[in-house]
Amino acid sequence: IDVDERQAYDLTVPVMTMNAMTEDAAEGISAFLEKRTPEWRGR
């Protein structure tokens, strides 16, 4: 994809927002803060 920086952000923000709202995202943050290996569930 040949886009400028602004267009790249416009394309990625919705996807990153959806990814940040998953159960796995919350698990990753919790595992990091608790210094443990995350238990990914694909959700």
Cβ-contact 33, 27 below 8 angstroms = no
Cβ neighbours, 10 Å, residue 9: 11
pLDDT of residue 32: 98
pTM confidence score:
0.71
Q: In the chain, what are the domain boundaries?
A: 1-35
Nearest residue to 22 (alpha-carbon basis) of 38, 6, 3 = 38
pLDDT of residue 1: 72
pLDDT tens column, 1-43: 799 999 999 999 999 999 999 999 999 999 999 999 999 999 9
